[in-house]
Chain A
Amino acid sequence: MPAYRPPRIPASDITPHHIYLSRRSFLGSAATAGLALAGGGGALAAPLAASPSSFKVNEPLTPKEAVTTYNNFYEFGVNKEDPSQNAGAFKPTPWSVKIDGMVGKPKVFGLEELMKIKQEERTYRMRCVEGWSMVIPWIGFPLAALLDQVEPLGSAKYVSFETVVRPEEMPGQGGFFQPLPWPYIEGLRLDEARHPLTILATGLYGETLPNQNGAPIRLVVPWKYGFKSIKSIVRISLVEKQPETTWKNSNAREYGFYSNVNPAVDHPRWSQATEQRIGEGGFFGAKRRATLPFNGYADQVASLYQGLDLKANY
């Protein structure tokens, strides 16, 4: 089968040169134009209002540039810089999220509708299974607020999530040597999904999500390894049985369904006892810090797992 190769479109084909040169006339003032040009980075980041919340980690924020250029988003390539470099053609609008399965009121939500839910700023730690971490000021809303609107049935025990498939906009989904089968799928237990810490994020650092961070809407589950926080979601289903998840399907010995951050349970290839905070220490002064159980959220979430053997259910 021939590999699909998205056409390379030069920027000048999209925006004719004379329009590009007259762009300032579209913008109210030269100052606004300067800001708009300074932003960019391949993303359609726009200011996003959010109310403050009490969910705030008291640790220095990871610089925005690091949060938006050091990414794992295999749909855009497997190297850390790939997503920020390859996500420019991705169109996060228009967008809709279908919620179906064991719910009283299945529904397709337009992005505008989701943005009407009260948006809060939440500063969370993010711990990657590869042994690095960040502190990110997300904007979003509790997933529970959305689930309430579709009225899950009593038989629903789990929630499954699905990322968009658009090989023409996501170079990692085309060609040979695709790292994973698509769509990327993830899942949570219903009580995990309804936990107040679990949010659907629509922005970070006061702006809408850059494409490389999972625009326009992604999951953030701060006590689990980063790969659980699925990006660019198009479908959420309530189901009875534990759903399949992409990394568990790819290597069940290494990636479990729960994937709670746990320094006592090593990944076969990486010690999970310590982590490197991205952007700290540079080349010579990098200092690994101790990883906390449930990524420091044990007080809030440990009760979800009472009686569960966390070594067996990694």
Chain B
Amino acid sequence: MMALPALPRRYHAASIWSLYLLGLCPAAWYFYQAATGGLGFNPVKEFEHVIGIWALRLIIATLAVTPLRDLAGINWMRYRRALGLLAFYYVLIHFTVYLLLDLQLNFAAVGGDIIRRPYITIGFACLLLLIPLALTSNNWSIRRLSSGWSKLHKLIYLIAAGGALHYVLAVKSVTFVPFIHVALICLLLAYRPLRKPLMKWKRGSKPTGRQASSNA
């Protein structure tokens, strides 16, 4: 496989900001569609669903950064924070639409849903768990928390699993689209425990592993 040409350093910041803009495009597009009648006859539900699916996609992208570097030698670590924060924004939009436009601030109904319906309980728990991650997604927090930061951010694995479960439990039957999303999350989570032995083996078999991996 050809190595990707490295992006010059001076473009790094601009590329990250572009990713934020690009990442918000689906939400903006579907919002425009929903507001102008382009999402069919039940636009609230439709918008809620596509935003939820995009949140899962962004979580998948966030989880893919590490294996992409390990296995393909593509280092996109600088985009991981943007992907993770975008995922949080999408989960927030997903919940806000449910609260505001779907249940129209009927807090009794929202509370009832959260308590009684396992898929909503799980989804809501994932939203809550994402808050500390979003709040500490900055350089200051990384310095401040030092090794505690990586421990805290391991929560994303639990959140990803919860998000997948939330999706599976919400649909009436698991068809192709839910299956693909859930399968990718399972794959990316399963990679984590395999990572240490894999890296060890890689380094052992190739003494110049760092360079070798960039050509892989």
Contacts and interface: CB of A to CB of B under 8 A. Distances in A.
Interface residues of B, number: 32
Contacts, number: 70
Given A132-B42, A179-B175, A286-B101, 11 more contacts: A70-B40, A70-B42, A78-B172, A80-B46, A266-B116, A271-B109, A274-B109, A279-B41, A283-B34, A284-B35, A286-B104
B211 interface: no
Interface in B1-49: 34-35, 37, 39-47
Interface residues of A, number: 32
Majority-rule SS of B interface residues: helix
Nearest to A285: B101
B112 interface: yes
Nearest to B113: A271
Nearest to A278: B41
Interface of A: 63, 65-66, 69-70, 74, 78, 80-81, 130, 132, 176-177, 179-180, 250, 266, 268-271, 273-274, 276, 278-279, 282-284, 286-288
Q: Give the residue among A66, A78, A274 with the most B Cβ atoms within 10 A.
A: A78
B117 interface: yes
A69 B179 contact: no
A132 B109 CA distance: 16
B129 interface: no
Contacts of B106: 288
A176 B176 CA distance: 8
A266 B115 CA distance: 13
B173 A269 contact: no
Nearest to B180: A177
Interface in B178-216: 179
B142 interface: no
B113 A276 contact: no
B47 A283 contact: yes
A80 B42 contact: yes
A283 B174 contact: no
